[in-house]
Structure 1
């Protein structure tokens, strides 16, 4: 029934929407072949890039699928380490680039919302014949994974959140709304120095290793992409507005999936913190508190905390992060 509905929706929409937005020309190397799911969304014909990594061993987890959702400052390629470990343990791993990001189409005009991205991801899984999956998201991807689980509880068997955004309502805490034109101006000013400074302060707790540079340079290359850099910057400005105005904190009690929160407690990430008054800044992004509060509110949740790690614990200390992940998967699957 779902397949028929989707086909009819595409056929109907295509009559009115004939603007084709091709996949990105961005040629950053990915660890596995990139495939594309064509979809018609908001009167645009778009292409959603993804990697489909087959399990490379027979194990307890065989026949299970996991979807990895990237954050705003990330791409599918940043999940390589996690995906290899999951594949080795028998998981099929689906790694999409969301519309507007990385190798996917970058529409010049699009209403970004967590609901829209969740629907796009659901459509991808439907096209691949995947009826149920674990969903793991980091940062914005954790926020998106939660929205996906709320919208598609029968598809989401397990939910894994790594320092997700949206665990607090930044607007209600005093963050002033920032016009999208100014957010766009901020994005256009992005460079290696600004990205590294931000990541060093929040992702890695004021430490730096040379291997982190690969992800900084990956992000920088998107802002310098000939013919697409301004569209990408515009998409990122729209996405920032969507994240700021669509918190998940009010719906945590409605999550039905078994849930694991993996929280770097030194994280201080908060959308809008940079342009907020000092008194507001002081209240935001306290993940040593936010993780515990979320774990109490999600009905079937467990919490794994890393007291010395920041926003990207899966990068900063891969071994400890994945040990906690696989220990929980072994007990909960």
Structure 2
């Protein structure tokens, strides 16, 4: 009996080790990761230091004269737009996909005063370099907050605005106690492969894991296995503070750009929810409510609600996401 138990235990351990071996330890620049399209870099100085910002510039064979910028969320980088890029490219759109400073293949500074204004300015610098004077802007999650700031700062450039399950549809600092950057950092350091997967299962995929989700988990969780992880965690702590302290919700009424909201209504993402009291927690991240409220705030905006979908529609239900996007782009 003991021998059988030992054999079973050994097999389980072997499976665990093999699973761990599949996940590569990733350095801060993702230097071993190949993105779906060629990566370019824009070098510039900001806040008294040299920085490099990675981006993909994917030109179609049948260019329709339209350009679209895709802005990633906080737990992602430009690579997770792969399927969206291909669909847009096939339809004739030139697609520009940056990794923001602090994310993906871009520089991870030791010290940086993050702001959505600063990130919007960096994004515009890429467009200026490419001599692009008009662009559609699509932002997911944190990228939705950045896309909103970009549209407010550069309305003459922003042809259309699409917000896919953007965070920041409520003012987190009015609902939950503030947490310092130092505490954010300690929290980030506790992240692991398991914690990231559990988070994604719960908030993105309704506890239904598919192998197609693995690359987007690995690009995030692989960092936790590398000696560079402290600088990744530090930048994540700084950008968390940016999100918490720089709401865009009060400025939706000032958006002049034609806007589409694509909202997965199962989503309950809200920064600081775990620090709020139970009564407030129940009201936070209610995308089934926040989508409608935001649509009323943004003049002339359109709302598409994806029932039963979580925080990541373009990965979880691509076909349901891409159809309303194309309908909006055609008009």
TM over 0.5: yes
Partner Cα distance (1:221, 1:200) in 2? 17
How large is the Cα RMSD of the aligned pairs?
1.2
Asked if the contact 1:26/1:102 (under 8 Å) is kept, the reply is no
Unmatched runs of 5 consecutive residues or more in structure 1:
1-22
Name the counterpart of 1:317. 317
Task: Kindly state the Cα deviation for residue 82 of structure 1 after the two structures are TM-superposed.
Answer: 0.3
Name the counterpart of 1:41. 46
Name the counterpart of 2:292. 292
Task: Kindly state the Cα deviation for residue 36 of structure 1 after the two structures are TM-superposed.
Answer: 0.2
What are the superposed Cα offsets for residues 66-113 of structure 1, whole Å, 9 maximum, x if unpaired?
Answer: 000000001100000000000000000000000011100110000011
Residue of structure 1 aligned with 2:56, choices 35, 51, 71: 51
Partner Cα distance (1:73, 1:26) in 2? 18
Partner Cα distance (1:25, 1:77) in 2? 11
Name the counterpart of 1:220. 221
Partner Cα distance (1:218, 1:56) in 2? 29
Partner Cα distance (1:201, 1:138) in 2? 18
Task: Kindly state the Cα deviation for residue 256 of structure 1 after the two structures are TM-superposed.
Answer: 0.9
Secondary structure class of the residue paired with 1:238: helix
Asked if the contact 1:142/1:164 (under 8 Å) is kept, the reply is yes
Structure 1 length normalisation: TM-score? 0.89
Give the ranges of 4+ consecutive aligned residues of structure 1 lying more than 4 Å apart after TM superposition.
none
Task: Kindly state the Cα deviation for residue 239 of structure 1 after the two structures are TM-superposed.
Answer: 0.3
Secondary structure class of the residue paired with 2:201: helix
- Which structure has the greater CA radius of gyration? 2
Secondary structure class of the residue paired with 1:321: helix
What are the superposed Cα offsets for residues 258-290 of structure 1, whole Å, 9 maximum, x if unpaired?
Answer: 100000000000001123322221110000011
Secondary structure class of the residue paired with 1:171: helix
Matched, 1:232 2:232: yes
Partner Cα distance (1:47, 1:310) in 2? 33
Which segment is superposed worse, 178-187 or 82-91?
178-187
Asked if the contact 1:32/1:53 (under 8 Å) is kept, the reply is yes
Which segment is superposed worse, 202-211 or 115-124?
202-211
Residue of structure 1 aligned with 2:125, choices 123, 126, 134: 123
Name the counterpart of 2:202. 201
Asked if the contact 2:54/2:98 (under 8 Å) is kept, the reply is yes
Name the counterpart of 1:31. 36
Task: Kindly state the Cα deviation for residue 25 of structure 1 after the two structures are TM-superposed.
Answer: 5.2
Partner Cα distance (2:298, 2:35) in 1? 35
Partner Cα distance (1:200, 1:220) in 2? 14
Name the counterpart of 1:78. 80
Asked if the contact 1:205/1:267 (under 8 Å) is kept, the reply is no
Secondary structure class of the residue paired with 1:74: coil
Matched, 1:177 2:189: no
Give the total of aligned pairs.
Answer: 304
Asked if the contact 2:193/2:222 (under 8 Å) is kept, the reply is no
